[in-house]
């Protein structure tokens, strides 16, 4: 579970079948996911691309236990049917297995970079001494060693996003969900972020599911899935580029 390195590249990490999500708007329902099948493997960076409003964030939420679909099934890690679990067990599943990185960073304004990461580890039951050491190490690994004692207001956008990544990676999650993790960043900061996600897949065997609008990120993907109007249009396996072109131009 925590710190588990036993998962092999290519093993299934998550498999969803027939996901349907509807939202009520006024008296009618709009169907945002129209029977989506989806799977992700350990060691893969799986990119989900598609126009605004096509259902990408909704899909990520349904796969990760954040938003209950009306129909369908999500098998993830050792859980045969995520949405059959109690609310408490779904929370535990997210805590044990999932790291989240969103565009808005979701950092606590009052906490330093190190405290942000330590807080995530403490929720998992890691003691303060070890949490401090691991937080320091993971922040150094994302190049924030000199920034550990700064608060979000004292960090750049790219640095904040790296704190969010450090927080997501610190617990060594099996599943990493990233929703437009580079969209608020300049090319250079965006490149740092996507390289860290690539590394988490390659070196730790995490299954990285990354929503993006940015076609330049495809160079880092093992697989690219296009979604439009709540349906998967295509699903292409590719080999990540050995030397991806720089994101900044």
Q: Which is nearer to ligand ATP, 50 or 65 (CB)?
A: 50
How far apart are alpha carbons 52 and 200 in whole angstroms? 27
Binding mask 48-87 for Mg ion (x = CB under 5 A): --------xx------------------------------
How far apart are alpha carbons 109 and 97 in whole angstroms? 25
Four-point Cα dihedral 249, 224, 238, 98, nearest 10: 100
Q: Which is nearer to Mg ion, 159 or 179 (CB)?
A: 179
User: Which letter does DSSP use for residue 39 in this model?
Assistant: E
Q: Which is nearer to ligand ATP, 18 or 53 (CB)?
A: 53
Q: Which does 25 bind (CB under 5 to 8 A by kind): Mg ion, ligand ATP, none?
A: ligand ATP
Q: Which residues of 78-91 are buried (b: 16+ CB within 10 A; e: fewer)?
A: ebeebbeeeeeebe
How far apart are alpha carbons 66 and 156 in whole angstroms? 28
Q: Which does 52 bind (CB under 5 to 8 A by kind): ligand ATP, Mg ion, none?
A: ligand ATP
Phi, psi for 113 (deg, rounded to 5)? -55, -45
The helix/strand/coil state of 178 is strand
Question: Which runs of consecutive H residues, i.e. helices, occur in the chain?
Answer: 56-63, 87-97, 113-123, 128-141, 157-170, 187-204
**Shortest distance in whole angstroms from residue 118 CB to ligand ATP:** 30
Q: Which is nearer to ligand ATP, 58 or 116 (CB)?
A: 58
**Shortest distance in whole angstroms from residue 193 CB to ligand ATP:** 17
Q: Which is nearer to Mg ion, 83 or 102 (CB)?
A: 102
Question: CA-based angle 190:179:52, to the nearest 5?
Answer: 100
Q: Which does 23 bind (CB under 5 to 8 A by kind): Mg ion, ligand ATP, none?
A: ligand ATP
**Shortest distance in whole angstroms from residue 196 CB to Mg ion:** 21
Binding site for ligand ATP (CB under 6 A): 23, 25, 32, 50, 52-58
Q: Which of residues 133-192 bind Mg ion (CB under 5 A)?
A: none
Residue closest to 45 by CA, chosen among 186, 175, 183, 142: 175
Q: Which is nearer to ligand ATP, 57 or 161 (CB)?
A: 57
**Shortest distance in whole angstroms from residue 178 CB to Mg ion:** 11
Positions touching Mg ion (CB under 5 A) are 56-57
């Amino acid at each position: 579970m925590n710190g588990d390195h036993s998962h092999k590249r290519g093993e299934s990490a998550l498999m969803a079948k027939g996901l349907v999500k509807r939202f009520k708007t006024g008296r009618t329902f709009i169907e945002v996911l129209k029977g989506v099948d989806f799977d992700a493997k350990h060691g893969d960076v799986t990119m989900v691309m598609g126009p605004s409003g096509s259902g990408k964030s909704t899909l990520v939420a349904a796969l990760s236990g954040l938003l209950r679909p009306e129909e369908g099934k999500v098998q993830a890690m050792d859980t045969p049917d995520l949405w059959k679990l109690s609310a408490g067990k779904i929370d535990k599943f997210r805590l044990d297995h999932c790291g989240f990185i969103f565009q808005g960073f979701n950092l606590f304004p009052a906490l330093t970079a190190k405290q942000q990461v330590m807080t995530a580890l403490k929720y998992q039951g890691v003691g303060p001494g070890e949490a401090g050491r691991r937080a320091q190490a993971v922040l150094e690994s994302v190049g924030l060693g000199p920034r550990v004692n700064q608060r979000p207001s004292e960090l750049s956008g790219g640095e904040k996003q790296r704190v969010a990544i450090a927080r997501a990676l610190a617990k060594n999650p099996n599943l990493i969900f990233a929703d437009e993790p580079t969209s608020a960043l300049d090319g250079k900061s965006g490149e740092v972020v996507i390289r860290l996600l690539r590394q988490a897949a390659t070196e730790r065997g995490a299954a990285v599911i990354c929503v993006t609008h940015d076609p330049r990120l495809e160079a880092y993907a093992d697989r690219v899935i296009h979604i439009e109007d709540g349906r998967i249009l295509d699903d292409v396996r590719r080999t990540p580029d050995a030397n991806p072109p720089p994101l900044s131009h």
